[in-house]
Amino acid sequence: MVTSRKPNKRPSMFEVAKLAGVSHQTVSRVINDSPDVSDATRARVQAAIDELGYRPSNSARALASRRSRTIGLIAGGLKFFGLISAITSIESIAREHGLFMSVMMVHESLCTQSDFDNLCDTFNEQNVDAFIFLTPTDVMFAAACRARVNQPRVIVTSTHGQMTVREGMSLISTANKRRTAMVGIDQWGAMAKVVSLLGEYGHKSALYFAGPNEWRDAHTRLDAWRKLAAARSIDSQIVRCHTWDADEAYAHMNHLLDEYGRTGVPLPTAVVAANDNQAVGVVRSLHEHSLRIPQDISVVGFDDMAGMDNLYPPLTTVRPDFEGLGVAAMRETLRLLGEGTEPTFLSQQHGVGLIPAEMCARRSLGPAPRRYR
């Protein structure tokens, strides 16, 4: 019996081995779930672990298995709830598989290649088994592709941007391409649902509030909107925003309404915003100009942020499956680590596995005013 151990000293593997009457190598095999241990021995070792309150260190397990069981995650855009939802889902799946998440955050627009490489070097010092990169902007996407890492990498991004997926993949060595996967939200499919619904309600003219162009989601949504609206014969005016903020959209909408009033140009019958924050700013401006939603003009958002179903009127918007995006990113990580099968995607574009988004039809979208039909 072990009695000399100091009360505050962490019990060691050797103490467990002595109490269980086995070698420390056998204790290591039990800890690492090796099949080369009998049930009786496993039970005896586990009893000793429980009695001593032994907790194996991550470094010891890494030495035994040559794996740290740690995933390094670098993320930008964390003030936006969608990415937070994806990270939460990633962490939950990792925990289910006995993996530890180590997370570092960067500014999505100001992150340099040097910043990104330094974070990767820090993770390499932790001997991480794989990387997950959440790259909402072009600068982060390029940095993730250029990163000098040999572990599996999963890049969460959009299919379009100022750098194409093909250009990004060309920055990765041939050997590392086989250890790389990309996943994202099906922005084109989502925008197709928006345009189809507008067409069903008879809308032939719309304002589109675009997000900041360095964001790949914004770039993809704008590309999709232009092509799909033109195919549906919807006359579209693009309002370019430098941020996702409601205040900027509010100011733009005020200016446009003043211009429409001054020139007598007919008001478009719908406004489509690239995110819900922008839609909130638009709705405020329309209310302040005594325009009724949707009787005079309809409004559509994107993201289905919390509270949008209680906006006045409740906002028609797109609900991306951010939780499903996180699950897909983690499943791709497990596949690349040899611990899971290849995920099934309903759609893929440019080598990016896509997660669908749901259309939430609410009262802010209605038929185009009769005079326009």
Q: Structural domain boundaries of the chain?
A: 13-65, 70-185+322-355, 188-319+359-372
Strand order of the β-sheet with 70-75 is 100-105, 70-75, 130-134, 153-156, 180-185, 352-355, 347-349
CB 317 within 8 A of CB 302: yes
Judging by DSSP bridges, how do beta strands 100-105 and 70-75 pair with one another? Answer: parallel
Instruction: Specify the 3-state DSSP secondary structure of 239.
Output: strand
pLDDT of residue 60: 52
258: number of Cβ within 10 Å: 11
Residue carrying the six token digits 């290591």 = 28
Distance CA 104, CA 73 (A): 6
**Is the pLDDT assigned to residue 64 strictly greater than 90?**
no
Least reliable range by pLDDT among 11-25, 133-147, 178-192, 227-241: 11-25
Instruction: Look at the pTM and tell me if it is higher than 0.85.
Output: no
Question: Are the folds of 70-185+322-355 and 188-319+359-372 the same?
Answer: yes
Strand partners, 315: none
**Is the pLDDT assigned to residue 5 strictly greater than 90?**
no
Q: CA–CA distance from 43 to each of 14, 49, 190 (Å)?
A: 17, 10, 53
42: number of Cβ within 10 Å: 16
Strand order of the β-sheet with 298-300 is 235-240, 205-210, 270-273, 298-300
Counting residues of the chain whose pLDDT is more than 90, the rounded percentage is 75
**Closest to 138 (Cα-Cα) out of 128, 146, 150:** 146
Distance CA 155, CA 334 (A): 14
Distance CA 16, CA 273 (A): 61
**Is the pLDDT assigned to residue 281 strictly greater than 60?**
yes
- 188-319+359-372 in CATH: which number? 3.40.50.2300
**Closest to 110 (Cα-Cα) out of 145, 146, 80, 136:** 136
Residue carrying the six token digits 């499903």 = 324
**Is the pLDDT assigned to residue 262 strictly greater than 90?**
yes
- 13-65 in CATH: which number? 1.10.260.40
Distance CA 75, CA 61 (A): 27
Judging by DSSP bridges, how do beta strands 298-300 and 270-273 pair with one another? Answer: parallel
53 phi-psi bin (left φ>0, alpha ψ -120 to 50, beta other): left
CATH superfamily of this structure's domain 70-185+322-355: Response regulator (3.40.50.2300)
**Is the pLDDT assigned to residue 1 strictly greater than 60?**
no
Band the pLDDT of 372: cuts 50, 70, 90: low
pLDDT tens profile 318-328: 999 999 999 99
Distance CA 106, CA 151 (A): 21
pLDDT tens profile 225-242: 999 999 999 999 999 999
pLDDT of residue 4: 46
**Is the pLDDT assigned to residue 343 strictly greater than 90?**
no
CB 216 within 8 A of CB 246: no
